[in-house]
Structure 1
């Protein structure tokens, strides 16, 4: 079937290629993020920052405004990629590395048991872009204590319910206008989700462009960073909070539009209809050489890791999330994730 060209479909094409080049696509081909400096040394988690920087370059290449959802999607793709590197079942980590980005565990099991002919028919349906009453597709809407919330990165199965729920927020501009709203909303969302899913690993990943560190916005940036650190201190809120600070040259034209994302809480709650819910944006079927040529022109995005407090670093965030899941599940669950942690390289 023909794939409609849109910013999200173009972005997914490039995101998928970046992840594919970092791994062969199978779980065993994902690099192990765990290591030790010595056999008796402490266990360390090494995030793949190179993949993150490439993913962050895609919205700049496409001139994608925040309203398109593409800039925030770069964070979602990286977070899901890191969870698969940690050893979690790829099909149960959403967004998946291929469409549909959300695939219920019952359908994963059905695919494994299907005959070749059944698999052909099933995959044709699943990869059509249809969302089937939002049971597959691009958005994971999860019921909290009082309302439904769209969660950006999820690991869930029918038998366990949500085991990981990570919300991502991105702020590239309008720091004085939107900073308080973004952080306050995240606090309420954490309480809502935690109250219904107390055993799940709950995380918040926040991206703040490095221009927030300039003297004009320095006080606001300090306030945001301080508040992010406090969001992870309460038992009934987030287990871990993460901060990344992308840095790119002003020579790269900023995406048009403001800094509001495309999530509508009324749509997530089912109060209003989502005009885009019937179809999921699919990657464009482009030749590999064309894809690689486009990736060679990605704007360079650096990371200001030097100004991120240790407690908000990805090196702390991901092991906290992973360890909570493994600690809260039986030893025969998530065998690959346990094995990877045990086999940390020296």
Structure 2
């Protein structure tokens, strides 16, 4: 008798459909626009973010499953593809396996169809070849391994972009500040080994903190702003405030980590467990099942009035992309460079969408 798929496996099936629908045929919209003065700015796809944030609520997934935080990871990697970066280079990928090194992708493109099918079967197996595919990326910092949520890395350049995400929906008084403080140490660990990589931090926070702990919310926002100004920490930091109804809340334990991550596992303390063994469970769900799930996603709001301008995702993603482009030769990331050059004026963009 078939076992019931995990909550994370169900979530991936819905996440994949949402991002596929947002980029029909793999064609992503250009996020870059210019104002009347010619200044370049980035316009994130918040409609897709809202849908992704609704998935863990639809599945009633507690943060211990990692699904709520995963919604942020999926959206950020999708935005990197909108920016023009290669779909296989921005991890997590939009299909399993989520982590696939560039040389493996190159090999798949050069073998025969029969060989390609056999290789995909191995890569998508429950236990793929060690180091060839994985569901999470572990990056060595100065002193320890760190599981990084959104990554761009290749053999020639090494890590080019590293984004850590955290999410907190409850237990604000006990855990909210701890997640930020831990991230500061993680930033130094990664920055010291990879000084040229664009290093970012995104914090997802439920809007109820402003009613339950307004002083904590004010202090946390100030801390996030300062975290992005340190010369030896993150290049940019973003805050996403998430608002949804109380009837959609999932009960959490008082010692909830906030994002389903184990700090020891993130640091590479696995015992006998290999860092690449956390493979994704593949789930076959019918188109009808996934479509019904998307149609039934609960409402989510993004109250941007709560977020200072310097912590908003538009500025954050623009800075991450700029740093990657500035740190590489002009013949690398050609599509990402071209999309910035082809940015439409906001007037033309509005006319095109009417």
1:102 paired residue among 99, 103, 109:
99
In the superposition, the TM-score normalised over structure 2's length comes to: 0.92
Does 1:159 find its partner at 2:159?
no
> Over residues 2-44 of structure 1, what are the superposed CA-to-partner deviations in whole Å (9 max), with x where a residue is unaligned?
8961111000001001111111252xx0111001133x42111
Give SS of 2:233's match: coil
Task: Give 1:279 shift.
Answer: 5.0
After superposition, the CA RMSD in angstroms is 1.7
Task: Give 1:127 shift.
Answer: 1.8
1:264 corresponding residue in structure 2: 262
Please give the alpha-carbon distance, in whole angstroms, between the structure 2 residues aligned to 1:3 and 1:88: 37
Is the contact between residue 43 and residue 314 of structure 2 (CA under 8 Å) also seen in structure 1?
yes
Is the contact between residue 85 and residue 336 of structure 2 (CA under 8 Å) also seen in structure 1?
yes
Please give the alpha-carbon distance, in whole angstroms, between the structure 2 residues aligned to 1:137 and 1:314: 27
1:286 corresponding residue in structure 2: 285
Please give the alpha-carbon distance, in whole angstroms, between the structure 1 residues aligned to 2:275 and 2:195: 31
Task: Give 1:291 shift.
Answer: 1.0
Stretches of structure 1 lacking an aligned partner (at least 5 in a row): none
In the superposition, the TM-score normalised over structure 1's length comes to: 0.94
Does 1:231 find its partner at 2:227?
yes
With over 3 angstroms needed to count, the CA separation of the structure-2 counterparts of 1:268 and 1:183, relative to structure 1, is closer
Task: Give 1:133 shift.
Answer: 2.6
Give SS of 1:302's match: coil
Extract structure 1 runs of 4+ deviating beyond 6 A: none
2:142 corresponding residue in structure 1: 145
Please give the alpha-carbon distance, in whole angstroms, between the structure 2 residues aligned to 1:203 and 1:191: 12
> Over residues 119-149 of structure 1, what are the superposed CA-to-partner deviations in whole Å (9 max), with x where a residue is unaligned?
1111111122324335411110000001110
Report how many aligned residue pairs link the two structures: 341
Most deviating of 280-289 and 88-97 = 280-289
Please give the alpha-carbon distance, in whole angstroms, between the structure 2 residues aligned to 1:334 and 1:109: 16
Superposition pairs of residues 29-178 of structure 1, within 5 angstroms: 29-38=27-36, 40-178=37-175
> Over residues 303-325 of structure 1, what are the superposed CA-to-partner deviations in whole Å (9 max), with x where a residue is unaligned?
01111100000110000000001
1:196 corresponding residue in structure 2: 193
1:222 paired residue among 207, 218, 221:
218
Stretches of structure 2 lacking an aligned partner (at least 5 in a row): 346-354
With over 3 angstroms needed to count, the CA separation of the structure-2 counterparts of 1:14 and 1:255, relative to structure 1, is farther
> Over residues 163-217 of structure 1, what are the superposed CA-to-partner deviations in whole Å (9 max), with x where a residue is unaligned?
0000000000000000221011000000000000000000000011000111x30
2:310 corresponding residue in structure 1: 311
Task: Give 1:65 shift.
Answer: 0.9
> Over residues 86-135 of structure 1, what are the superposed CA-to-partner deviations in whole Å (9 max), with x where a residue is unaligned?
00011011100000000011101111111111111111111223243354
Is the contact between residue 202 and residue 239 of structure 1 (CA under 8 Å) also seen in structure 2?
yes
Most deviating of 274-283 and 245-254 = 274-283
Is the contact between residue 97 and residue 280 of structure 2 (CA under 8 Å) also seen in structure 1?
no
Task: Give 1:270 shift.
Answer: 3.5
> Over residues 217-254 of structure 1, what are the superposed CA-to-partner deviations in whole Å (9 max), with x where a residue is unaligned?
00000000000000011221101000000100113243
Is the contact between residue 35 and residue 44 of structure 1 (CA under 8 Å) also seen in structure 2?
yes
